Amino acid sequence: MPLLEVSGLSKRYRRGDTLVSAVDDVSFTIAAAETLALVGPSGSGKSTIARLVTRLIEPDAGTILFEGTDLRGLKPSALRAMRGRLQIVFQNPLAALNPRATVGRVIDDPLKIHTGFSRGERRSRVASLLERVRLDPALASRPIHEISGGQRQRVAIARALASSPTLIVLDEAVSALDVSVRAEILQLLKRIQRETRVAYLFITHDLGVVRAAADRVAILDGGKIVESGIATEVVSNPQSAIGKALVAAAPRLPRG
């Protein structure tokens, strides 16, 4: 049984008098310890899928089986419990995290909600989560607004890891980072995956990131999956028109 099995997922939005399909009959699976990238241009529906899968918004149709349970039927209490196992990291950590909260509090909050740990246990857990994302545990007392963008994204990852998730949705989570910071975060995510067997749903518009980070890829266009397969194979030899356009548009270093 796959960790996540999405089938027939659809979401439409009202725009004026018409309904616009943002996600149209999308199906995919993710196994434990696997990374699936969803890639496509702006407006292709990839971020809507991130929000549907984490049930931040409700689908119009389709099923989302996570660890064998259909998320659509879950009552609020069961949904809260499930959210510990299915986390999301957004593009902009300064918008996602309270800028005035300390690093320690940002990571402690999910521990309070999702674990029965005592205050002392939680404090040592915060320290070990900071170490897991390669940050100095002394950073726990610093407010979010005082640390760098790369450090903030590490804190967002530590917070996501606090409730021991089996799946993390990464919604353009490395897109706003400097290139050298991005390379470090991608390495960090891989190492965490080896250590914890967490799976990633990696939402990105960047095929370079897909090639570096994903096992499989699904290419979206106009809310539909138009192509999918092994990441390295699809990126080196795309079949769909949009896949070819994405590969052609990717910046390349001139050779020879």
Partner 1 sequence: MTVLAQLQRFGVSYSRDRAVAPALADVDLDLKAGEKLAIIGESGSGKSTIALALAGLLPSEAKLTGSLVWPGYPDRPPRAGRDIGFVFQDPGGSLNPVFTIGNTIAEVVQVNRSVDWHAALQAAHELIDRVRLPDPELIARSYPHQLSGGQRQRVAIAAAIAGRPLLLIADEATSALDTIVQAEIVALIRSLVEADGMTLLFISHDIALAASLADRIAVLRSGRLVECGDTRTIIQEPKDAYTKQLLRAHLAVEA
Q: Which residues make up the interface to partner 1 (CB under 8 A)?
A: 41-43, 148-149, 178-183, 205-209, 211-212, 232, 235-236, 245-254, 256
Q: Which is nearer to partner 1, 16 or 120 (CB)?
A: 16
Specify whether the backbone of 247 is left (phi greater than 0), alpha (psi in -120 to 50) or beta. Answer: alpha
Q: Which is nearer to partner 1, 61 or 181 (CB)?
A: 181
Paired tokens of 194: 């080896």
Q: Whole-number minimum distance, CB 111 to partner 1, in Å?
A: 30
Find the shortest distance in angstroms from Cβ 190 to partner 1.
Answer: 13
Which is closer to partner 1, CB of 34 or CB of 206? 206
Distance of alpha carbon 79 from alpha carbon 205, whole angstroms? 29
DSSP symbols for 94-159: HHHS-TTSBHHHHHHHHHHHH----HHHHHHHHHHHHHHTT--GGGGGSBGGGS-HHHHHHHHHHH
Residue 256 CB, nearest approach to partner 1 (Å): 8
Residues present in the chain in total: 256
**Shortest distance (Å) from residue 109 CB to partner 1:** 27
Residue in 72, 77, 50, 51 with CA at minimum distance from that of residue 61: 72
Nearer to partner 1, 98 or 148 (CB): 148
Residue 20 or 183: the one with the smaller Cβ distance to partner 1 is: 183
Residue whose CB is less far from partner 1, 19 or 183: 183
Distance, in Å, from the CA atom of 16 to the CA atom of 200, rounded to the nearest integer, reads 35
The dihedral over CA atoms of 145, 148, 154, 158, expressed in degrees to the nearest 10, equals -30
Query: Where is 198: in which H helix or E strand?
Result: none
Q: How far is the CB of 45 from partner 1 (least distance, A)?
A: 13
Cα–Cα distance for residue pair 207/46, rounded to 1 Å: 14
Report in angstroms how near the CB of residue 221 gets to partner 1 at its nearest: 11
